[in-house]
Amino acid sequence: MGDYLAGLWKQNLPYGLLWRSEDGLECRRYHTFVAPTFSWASRSGPIIFPSFTSRYTCTGQVIEAKCDPIGFNRTGEVSGGFVKLYGLFIELTFARFALRKEGSYPSPTILIDAYEVSETKKATLVYCLSMLQYGKPTMHMALVLIKSAAQPEGFERIGLTIEAPAAWFQNAAICEVTIF
C-alpha cells in the first residue's frame, strides 16, 4: 500500500483526501494535535468516501506528502505532516454552509469537516482546490481550504464541495498548495 499518512495511504491519496464527515455538525476538531487537517483523523466522528467510478477525472496532483510518526509504529500517532498538491485553485466566499464566487450565482453547499467551521457567521475568504471533475455539465469535487494560522505558508482543510461548477475553474490559476 505504500506510505501511511495519518489514516490515509499515499498510493491512493488523490481519492483518499476526498473523505467527508458523515455529520459535520456533530464532529469536532481535537484541542491538541492528532493529525494534519487533510486527514479524517484530525477530527472526531464518522466519515464516508464518495463512490468513485471511471467517470471521474483527476484534476489535482500529489507532489509530496509526509507525516512524522511519534514512535517506531509507522501507522501510529503523528507529530505533524503535510500534503503538497498541484491543481486548479480559486478564491471563494464561505457563509452559512454555502460557497459563492464573485459575480456568479450562489453555489453548492460545502460539506463541513467539523462543527467549529459552521460557527462562522460572517462571510469568510476560502479557497477551493479541484481534485476531480465529472459529469455533463462538468462539475468539480474540490477541497475547501482556509489559510493556516499556525503555518502561514500553507492551508488547512475545512471541508469538501462535490458540485462546484466548471465555470468557476475556467480561468483558475494552477497552483502548488500545501495543506497542514
Beta-carbon-side half-sphere exposure of residue 125 (alpha carbons within 13 Å): 5
Burial 16-52 (b: 16+ CB within 10 A, else e): bbbbbbeebeebebeeeebbbbbbbbbbebebeeeee
Angstrom distance (rounded) from CA 14 to CA 39:
12
The boundaries of the domain holding residue 165 are: 4-179
Amino acid at 152: P
What's the grid cell of residue 115? 462543527
Tens-level pLDDT at each residue, the chain (180 residues): 568 899 998 888 999 999 998 876 688 889 899 999 999 999 998 999 988 777 899 999 999 999 998 878 777 788 999 999 999 999 998 876 677 777 666 567 788 898 877 666 678 899 999 999 998 889 999 999 999 999 999 999 999 998 899 999 999 999 999 999
How many structural domains comprise the chain? 1
For the chain, give the number of residues.
Answer: 180
Determine phi and psi for 16, rounding to 5 degrees: -60, -30
Instruction: Please report the sign of the dihedral spanned by the C-alpha atoms of residue 157, residue 159, residue 165, residue 168.
Output: negative
Q: What pTM was estimated for this model as a whole? A: 0.90
Place of cell 499518512: 5
